[in-house]
A and B are shown apart, each in its own frame.
Chain A
């Protein structure tokens, strides 16, 4: 059985304290993964690269800069984006309904897009549209994966889904796992699908007009999103401590390798890819789970 399922018996209030600890650790894990990603990419490119703790330094720097703004609605949307990402993490660690988790994540992304549109720079405007298209493609895949999870366990409550995982889901839902790797690749903003954050095309993309503390909030919620995705991949597909870490490391290396060996496509390319290959993967898996259950 999984590590997480046993903790109500460890010490009093364990079923509240441990989720809170995990919740606090999630952004740290996300930032660490982002730092390791930069280091590994640099080594792949035959250079040294920044230290692994670089994202922490970046955050510290961002929070000590002067605050600039162009209008107040962009600041409100920054708070809303982080708030709902945090809510997604809370629902995840406290094992709520996975469809509600999906919709909270989507709402957080919607606030990111609204933040992008509310600043008047043409780059953030283009970045906002690209982000919307990315949401359209990736959230569809993600929802299908969530549904396959629920149909497989015959329930959508996370606590019961975890209870019912007898064999690691990577065996029952291998194609969904591949789709999760694609989602992870897009979330890590790796080529070929990093169309919103296309630095050479549209500067910073959706976050062009954000600076200082507000940009730091977005970086923090990005790290949180990475942490959430890693936790989902661990919890469902390979919940074992040793094998799970190995699986995460392997997926991370796959994602980084793909990111370093490909170039960016257009938004049409992302659309075509996710609605042919991506949808094929998740639909075949969903149909297989429905038929064989």
Chain B
């Protein structure tokens, strides 16, 4: 039992921390902030400790309440009835609330059906209800480290905002739910934690409780509830067809090799809604009205990764079905390319980062759809680096927003002189996502290496990469432009999390070969375990069958040409002159090119969503066809 408690520490610790923080914030902000920082640091220690312990399993199968009822049943009902109540409570929003109501009722009916008819016939119960295997380790690492840093950042960010007690309670609850979801082997527990994250997302997006945030939160609510419906129907189908409620048993079932099941398509679609893959991307854009720590934690680093977790977990079910893989890859590629195209047209920094997040998630889905060791590793790498880098970027934008009271790029001129630390963090974050020698580049390199075997993904990867360069470089150029302004100081509670994440990104990019060898390769599913596609050659180099990439020379060049001149260039012997503006003094500042007339949201949103909807329906049909034939 004590081993179970230790293994569940990443779930229990945030719950306790959330409760204590709630009470402490009711007393005073300083006490609350101290509690939050304490528990964040504890979380950042507990997570890696559990990882170092290796694969951990926790049975937890004898928790019963009210006599004979399993605790998970009771929790599920409480949650779904809570959703229905919530949907009724927000009915003033109009149609979306009623859609959420209908979806909540659908979930309730399915769970009722499951608990009454299907549960008794299940032959293969989970051996361990919670199973922390190497794949879960990666998500645990991201959630605790990035989550811990974001919480420390949030204590300073929410200094003057209202309702911090509820905010931190829900944030801690979210982290607990996220950890619980990746730990769960029991599908009903997975469903429970999945829906808890939906609830937390609604509460956090609606933190300001304005009309706009309520509308956007309701949009997020019904889209993710739709995913929950897909999930629970999929779980019910798994119970019907495989007589099991355990993920491990489901994946190791031999019958999966022969035909594809509707359950797989449903689980994939549930993952799509959670990870904001087209056509389910609109909620993530609307979720940007939430405070920035929410955007950093939920909507870039952790919650949207839950859908990716689902896809990574059920990868072995479609290894023999090329059609499904191709459709998955195309869905991911479509998202990657067109989210990048839509990001070009954004002048709001958080919306641009949201579209960039959707784009990167699409790339991860594309990599998963390749269904090989190469693709799986590429997906894991991008997942890791994207979580760290995007959290860093969101946090930086939050600090900038606090200072200049604007999220627009056009107001960020001269940021390099005004807030040099933040600008450098933005530089590292953007370079980490777009350029070599950092981690996200390795994913693109691996995928391009994979074009040998999967030529169909080439247009998506190529176009998406070059379009991404456009909007990222434009932002970097904007912050390094003039006019020079007076430098402002930065708080430690902003600097330490950002600096910590930056150090983590740089070190893990430099040692990516060792990271791939030790951490990531262990997370490969059994079917890919023997494909020796990627190997590390030496301390700093990765080699595939067709290519070679070494990090150390590139980091040296970066240091010599960017870092050392930036630090040591002295302009004393040079003469400072005015910029050239035909001899007149420079007065104006410039707005950027956003191409809103051809790429704006109101122009291309609807066609893209419609196209993606057709494609998802097609994906579903292919899955169901597999079930009927």
Judge whether B580 and A286 touch: CB under 8 Å.
no
Nearest residue (CB) in B for A112 is: B473
Give min CB distance, B423 to chain A, whole Å.
10
Query: How far does the alpha carbon of A139 sit from the alpha carbon of B581 in the complex, in Å?
Result: 31
Judge whether B465 and A67 touch: CB under 8 Å.
no
Query: How far does the alpha carbon of A154 sit from the alpha carbon of B450 in the complex, in Å?
Result: 11
A-binding segment of B100-108, B569-577, B612-620: B569-577
Q: Quick one: which of B435, B436, B458, B577 contacts A147, CB cutoff 8 A?
A: B458
B-binding segment of A4-12, A80-88, A233-241: A80-88
**For B477, B549, B574, which residue has the most chain A Cβ atoms within 10 angstroms?**
B477
A-binding segment of B61-69, B253-261, B487-495, B556-564: B556-564
CB-CB under 8 A from A209, the residues of chain B are 579-580
| Interface 0/1 of A72-112, CB less than 8 Å to B | 11011101101110010000000011011001101100100
Query: How far does the alpha carbon of A157 sit from the alpha carbon of B445 in the complex, in Å?
Result: 13
Q: Answer whether residue B602 sits at the interface, using C-beta atoms and an 8 A cutoff.
A: no
Give min CB distance, A49 to chain B, whole Å.
28
CB-CB under 8 A from A150, the residues of chain B are 451-452, 546
Give min CB distance, A106 to chain B, whole Å.
7
Judge whether A107 and B435 touch: CB under 8 Å.
yes
Judge whether A75 and B565 touch: CB under 8 Å.
yes
Judge whether B577 and A84 touch: CB under 8 Å.
no
Query: How far does the alpha carbon of A157 sit from the alpha carbon of B588 in the complex, in Å?
Result: 49
Judge whether A67 and B573 touch: CB under 8 Å.
yes
Give min CB distance, A113 to chain B, whole Å.
5
Query: How far does the alpha carbon of A94 sit from the alpha carbon of B100 in the complex, in Å?
Result: 60
Task: Classify the interface of chain A: helix, strand, loop or mixed.
Answer: helix
Judge whether A132 and B473 touch: CB under 8 Å.
yes
Judge whether A135 and B445 touch: CB under 8 Å.
no
Q: Quick one: which of A69, A103, A123, A125 contacts B436, CB cutoff 8 A?
A: A103
Interface residues of B in 240-270 (CB under 8 A from A): none
Nearest residue (CB) in B for A208 is: B580
Query: How far does the alpha carbon of A144 sit from the alpha carbon of B465 in the complex, in Å?
Result: 12
Query: How far does the alpha carbon of A144 sit from the alpha carbon of B460 in the complex, in Å?
Result: 12
**Known pairs A70-B576, A209-B580; A118 contacts B477 (CB<8 A):** yes
Give min CB distance, A243 to chain B, whole Å.
28
Judge whether A99 and B448 touch: CB under 8 Å.
yes
CB-CB under 8 A from A114, the residues of chain B are 473, 476-477, 480
Query: How far does the alpha carbon of A287 sit from the alpha carbon of B436 in the complex, in Å?
Result: 28
Q: Answer whether residue A283 sits at the interface, using C-beta atoms and an 8 A cutoff.
A: yes
Query: How far does the alpha carbon of A66 sit from the alpha carbon of B571 in the complex, in Å?
Result: 12
Q: Quick one: which of A76, A97, A110, A203 contacts B549, CB cutoff 8 A?
A: A97
Q: Answer whether residue A265 sits at the interface, using C-beta atoms and an 8 A cutoff.
A: no
Q: Can you report 27 residue pairs joining A to B where beta carbons are below 8 Å apart?
A: A67-B574, A68-B574, A68-B575, A68-B577, A70-B577, A73-B480, A79-B565, A83-B562, A97-B445, A97-B548, A99-B448, A99-B449, A103-B441, A118-B416, A118-B477, A120-B481, A120-B482, A121-B586, A132-B470, A136-B466, A136-B469, A143-B465, A144-B462, A147-B458, A155-B547, A209-B579, A286-B455
Using A71-B482, A79-B561 as known contacts, list a sample of 5 further A-B pairs with CB atoms less than 8 Å apart, ordered by residue number in A.
A70-B577, A113-B477, A139-B466, A150-B452, A155-B547
Residues on B lying within 8 angstroms of A by beta carbon are 416, 434-436, 441, 444-445, 448-449, 451-452, 455, 458-459, 462-463, 465-467, 469-470, 473-474, 476-478, 480-484, 545-549, 553-554, 557-558, 560-562, 565-566, 569, 571, 573-581, 586, 588, 590, 592-593
